[in-house]
Amino acid sequence: MTGIIEADDLTKTYNDTAAVSHIRFSVLKGEIFGFLGPNGAGKTTTMRMIQCVSPRTSGTLLVFGLDPDTDPAAIKQRIGVVPQETNLDPDFTCEGNLLTYARYFDIPEIEAQKRAENLLAFVSLTEKRKTSIDKLSGGMKRRLILARALINTPDLLILDEPTIGLDPQARHLIWERLRLLRAQGNTIVLTTHYLDEAARLCDRLVIMDHGTFLVEGSPAELVRNHVGSEIIEMDNTPEVTTCLTQLGISYESLGEQVQIATDSSRELAKTLLDRCKNSRMSTRPATLEDVFLKLTGRTLRE
């Protein structure tokens, strides 16, 4: 099946440093595809190439079957972009921002007005249509940026950290709208640092680091294949680590805790309680965050 986006051996270098190195992926029509990775992993660089903002160094990249290097105008007409930064025009109201943006796509005034009304309702901002940008909350601004990205009824929606800095209510509202867009057949590509967001929204995702792909698959597949179904957590004491070593059980030391990945926590927990005395123990489901940290490490990156 031909994808909305097709990349093969895609590479981008800056001053002989590879920001993206020989990646290959396909984004299918009607799915939400995510790019995850630490700061500097290459996510934003990949998004910029898809958006026809940054030319690739080598490899193949097609968006709607078109080459971003030779057909950028045709591609930009069919995409909507939600950038990480809030870049609304402060000189216009909510409605004014949408109507002004519609002019870039040569949308007739009457049609633009209709779309603006529908989109303001879609993101629950109808009552704020005449409100100036500086009177909006952070969540309202992010929702308005999403509405703006949809003004040209794009075939592909690209979101860079769509819910960054938002409270839980605002995040969930945007999640609902993105799920509805997918249900309507829209194709969505997103980057996010919120692992729960990726797990809830993405049909498939990749985890990147140092410009390359580490893994690709559905969130559930990645958790199952790389961590297991459950995590056992115990106190990180010499007695516990000695006990685990004697039992031949692999573990990861994390400050005051050790973590043990398993597919059978009940049986393993019983063994540990019998053999490793006087230690607190808890079990929880394994998550995409466990996969992310296992593959990319736990060192803070700025």
pLDDT tens digits, 174-188: 999 999 999 999 999
Q: Output the pLDDT for position 39.
A: 86
Q: How confident is the model at residue 32 (pLDDT cuts 50, 70, 90)?
A: very high
Least confident segment among 91-105, 125-139, 164-178? 164-178
- Does 196 lie in the same domain as 90? yes
- Does 204 lie in the same domain as 235? no
Cα-atom radius of gyration of the chain, to the nearest Å?
Answer: 23
**Residue 277 clears pLDDT 90, i.e. is over it:** no
Amino acid at 26: S
- Does 245 lie in the same domain as 159? no
Would you say residue 65 lies in a domain? yes
Q: What angle do CA 228, 284, 301 make, to 5 degrees?
A: 75
- The DSSP secondary-structure symbol of 22 reads E
Q: Which domain holds residue 281?
A: 229-285
**Residue 256 clears pLDDT 90, i.e. is over it:** no
Cβ neighbours for 14, distance < 8 A, ≥ 6 positions apart: none
Q: How confident is the model at residue 299 (pLDDT cuts 50, 70, 90)?
A: low
- Does 279 lie in the same domain as 130? no
- Does 126 lie in the same domain as 35? yes
Q: How confident is the model at residue 16 (pLDDT cuts 50, 70, 90)?
A: confident
- Does 83 lie in the same domain as 12? yes
**Residue 300 clears pLDDT 70, i.e. is over it:** no
Q: How far, in Å, CA of 23 to CA of 167, rounded?
A: 34
**Residue 112 clears pLDDT 80, i.e. is over it:** yes
- Residue by residue, DSSP assigns 24-88 as EEEE-TT-EEEEE-STTSSHHHHHHHHTTSS--SEEEEEETTB-TTT-HHHHHTTEEEE-SS---
Q: Output the pLDDT for position 278.
A: 72
The total number of structural domains that make up the chain: 2
- Does 195 lie in the same domain as 277? no
Would you say residue 10 lies in a domain? yes
- Does 97 lie in the same domain as 58? yes
Residue 285, strand partner residues: 230
Residue 215, strand partner residues: 207
Q: What is the CATH number of the domain that holds 271?
A: 3.30.70.120
Q: How confident is the model at residue 211 (pLDDT cuts 50, 70, 90)?
A: very high
Asked if residues 52 and 72 have their Cβ atoms less than 8 Å apart, the reply is yes
Would you say residue 300 lies in a domain? no
Q: Output the pLDDT for position 271.
A: 85
Q: What is the CATH number of the domain that holds 25?
A: 3.40.50.300
Least confident segment among 17-21, 230-234, 278-282, 284-288? 278-282
Q: Output the pLDDT for position 140.
A: 93
Would you say residue 223 lies in a domain? no
- Does 36 lie in the same domain as 115? yes
Q: Output the pLDDT for position 298.
A: 65
Q: Which is higher by pLDDT, 271 or 302?
A: 271
- Does 117 lie in the same domain as 256? no
- Does 202 lie in the same domain as 138? yes
pTM for this structure? 0.90
Q: Output the pLDDT for position 150.
A: 96
Would you say residue 247 lies in a domain? yes
Would you say residue 178 lies in a domain? yes
- Does 80 lie in the same domain as 56? yes
Domain boundary at 169, 196, 217, which?
217
Q: How far, in Å, CA of 75 to CA of 90, rounded?
A: 28
Q: Output the pLDDT for position 208.
A: 94
